[in-house]
Amino acid sequence: MYETIALVGATGAVGRIVLEQLVKREFPYRRLKLLASERSVGREVRVGGETITVELLEPDAFKEIDLVIASTPDEVSAEFAPWAVEEGAVVVDESGYWRMDPTVPLIIPEVNPEAVESHAGIIASPNCSTTQMVVALAPLHKAAKVKRVIVSTYQATSGAGLAGNEELHDSVRSALAGQVHPPSTFQYPVGFNLIPQIGSEKYRGYTSEEMKMVYETQKIMGDENIQVCPTCVRVPVTIGHSESILVETEESLSAEEARDLFHNAKGVTVVDDLDSQQYPMPRDCDGKDDVFVGRIRKDLSCSNGIAFWCVSDNLRKGAATNAVQIAELLVKRAAASIEKS
């Protein structure tokens, strides 16, 4: 059990779900501190049966803290994480700042839990679109070794935070009234629209969001030879990222074999009956922690290819749930260490 844990970014969309998960999963701690910027200081937050007042995120806030779970912008994490580590805390960070740091493990508990052993105070949780894809890829990789992935994502507006969902609602209302809502969070009005750009241009016409999927997949799966070709699209859906994934493996898998691998994979739920019109959809995955897979079929253009459709709640497994699961790995590791001693 951790004596004292802290949540940074407690009042944000992901932070609220982290708190919910800590209670639901009965995470072991004696005291919880909520930390945020000045504008949220003094706000009271209900956690289980307890009301906790939000405190200021500052260096002294991490004294006597054992574990930190954080959901903040990159620049905030870059500043505060070293403060926490210096005070002896372990930081589970959901920002993008530390993910590709070679000294920081990037972890999905269903895929590479052993990486928790190599942390030096900071552990990164992957990007939401990467997380759900890699959870689905992992059983295929273990069975037949993934060579190449072509993925198109259809990402919910909540991926841009509370402001993203507010802009979608405003955009839809304006469109229904025959007006155009001026965008601020997105490049264009998102209501009744698709925007094939998430992030800035990063490399050879690929965006920063797309290159995250390339580099993070290779790091998590421990194989820089896996080729990933991503296209990331913002869609007018509030919660739940969807992905169309085509995987080429070294060894051939039938659709039935792939379906069995998904059925037996931890954290994956199969919804796959085309005749009965059963397949994963964002509205059905909202509020659930698993990665949902359907439309599983052989690739018509490649003998070693498997195509499937993948949906997950981007605020849960894509963010909050994965971070709490990493924290649970740390608890198990500490318990095992005590037993050995």
Domain 129-314, CATH number (from 3.40.50.620, 3.40.50.720, 3.30.565.10, 3.30.360.10): 3.30.360.10
- Given a cut of 90, is residue 339 above it in pLDDT? no
> Where does the pLDDT of residue 2 fall: very low under 50, low under 70, confident under 90, or very high at 90 and above?
confident
Establish whether 302 is a catalytic residue.
Answer: no
pLDDT value at position 1? 65
Percent of the chain at pLDDT exceeding 70: 98
When pLDDT is averaged across residues 285-311 and rounded to a whole number, the result is 97
pLDDT value at position 192? 97
Closest CA to 266 of 145, 142, 144: 142
> Where does the pLDDT of residue 330 fall: very low under 50, low under 70, confident under 90, or very high at 90 and above?
very high
3-state helix, strand and coil shares in percent for the chain, rounded to the nearest 5 = 40, 25, 35
When pLDDT is averaged across residues 316-320 and rounded to a whole number, the result is 97
Mean residue pLDDT across the chain: 96
Residue of 128, 232, 285, 310 marked catalytic: 128
Asked if residue 222 lies in contact with residue 143, where contact means CB atoms within 8 angstroms, the answer is no
pLDDT tens digit string along 203-245? 999 999 999 999 999 999 999 999 999 999 999 999 999 999 9
When pLDDT is averaged across residues 100-111 and rounded to a whole number, the result is 98
pLDDT tens digit string along 145-186? 999 999 999 999 999 999 999 999 999 999 999 999 999 999
Residue of 119, 141, 181, 241 marked catalytic: 241
pLDDT value at position 73? 93
- Every domain of the chain with CATH number 3.40.50.720 lies at 2-125+319-340
Percent of the chain at pLDDT exceeding 90: 93
> Where does the pLDDT of residue 335 fall: very low under 50, low under 70, confident under 90, or very high at 90 and above?
confident
pLDDT value at position 334? 82
> Where does the pLDDT of residue 336 fall: very low under 50, low under 70, confident under 90, or very high at 90 and above?
confident
CA angle 134, 136, 142 (to 5 degrees): 85
Q: How far apart are CA 57 and CA 83, in angstroms?
A: 10
> Where does the pLDDT of residue 341 fall: very low under 50, low under 70, confident under 90, or very high at 90 and above?
low
Amino acid symbol at 126: P
Establish whether 241 is a catalytic residue.
Answer: yes
- Every domain of the chain with CATH number 3.30.360.10 lies at 129-314
pLDDT tens digit string along 121-145? 999 999 999 999 999 999 999 999 9
Give phi and psi for 8, each to the nearest 5. Answer: -100, 130
Asked if residue 241 lies in contact with residue 318, where contact means CB atoms within 8 angstroms, the answer is yes
> Where does the pLDDT of residue 11 fall: very low under 50, low under 70, confident under 90, or very high at 90 and above?
confident
Residue with tokens 């972890």: 107
Could you tell me the pTM of the whole model?
0.95
> Where does the pLDDT of residue 102 fall: very low under 50, low under 70, confident under 90, or very high at 90 and above?
very high
Q: What superfamily in CATH does domain 2-125+319-340 come from?
A: NAD(P)-binding Rossmann-like Domain (3.40.50.720)
Closest CA to 71 of 143, 18, 3: 18
